Amino acid sequence: MSDTEYIPDGYTAVTPYLVAEDAAALIDFLATSFGAVERMRIPGPDGGIRHAEVVIGGDAIMLCSVTPPQFKLTNAHINLYVEDVDSTYARAMGAGATSVLEPANQIYGDRGACITDPSGNTWSLSSPVEDITEEEVRSRLKAADDA
């Protein structure tokens, strides 16, 4: 028996679940910005979305509107590995994102950027540009802190 038989096919052990004022608008944003593919949408009694799922890069994200009442509007910070940080950032900005950090090569070896989606979730966009060790990252961080 596998150690992970309890994880359904198409899911990972950790699956983000986003709660949004307008889940339909968030799905549109994710599709436009990150190429999300919707795989499920269950409407709620109030016209919102009771439960939906999208897939980005093979991984599922679950989301819903602010229903049932015990679900509160919350914000998440999600790291998303992408093929091209700059073009993904541009698509997200065109779809209504707010810039937190413009694309730049980062001290830890990734090209990265950061945006906030229209629902208030923060997305770090990352793509490795160099293969460095943890020791090298620590050395670079120390040098930056000492500068």
State residue 106's pLDDT score. 94
Q: Are 128 and 112 contacting, i.e. CB atoms less than 8 angstroms apart?
A: no
- The CATH number of 1-74 is 3.30.720.120
Question: Mean pLDDT, to the nearest integer, of 108-121?
Answer: 95
State residue 69's pLDDT score. 67
Domain with CATH 3.10.180.10 in the chain: 75-147
Q: Which fold has domain 75-147?
A: 2,3-Dihydroxybiphenyl 1,2-Dioxygenase; domain 1 (3.10.180)
Question: Mean pLDDT, to the nearest integer, of 53-77?
Answer: 86
Instruction: Provide the H-helix boundaries in the chain.
Output: 23-34, 85-94, 134-146
Domain with CATH 3.30.720.120 in the chain: 1-74
Give the total residue count for the chain. Answer: 147
pLDDT at 90 over 90: yes
State residue 8's pLDDT score. 86
Mean pLDDT for all residues in the chain: 92
75 token code pair: 């914000």
State residue 101's pLDDT score. 97
Query: How many Å separate Cα 20 from the centre of its chain?
Result: 14
pTM of the model: 0.85
> Distance between CA atoms of 106 and 114, rounded to whole angstroms?
12
Angle at 105 between CA 36 and CA 139, to 5 degrees: 125
State residue 6's pLDDT score. 82
Question: Mean pLDDT, to the nearest integer, of 44-53?
Answer: 89
State residue 68's pLDDT score. 64
pLDDT at 45 over 50: yes
Pair type for strands 122-128 and 110-116: antiparallel
pLDDT at 41 over 70: yes
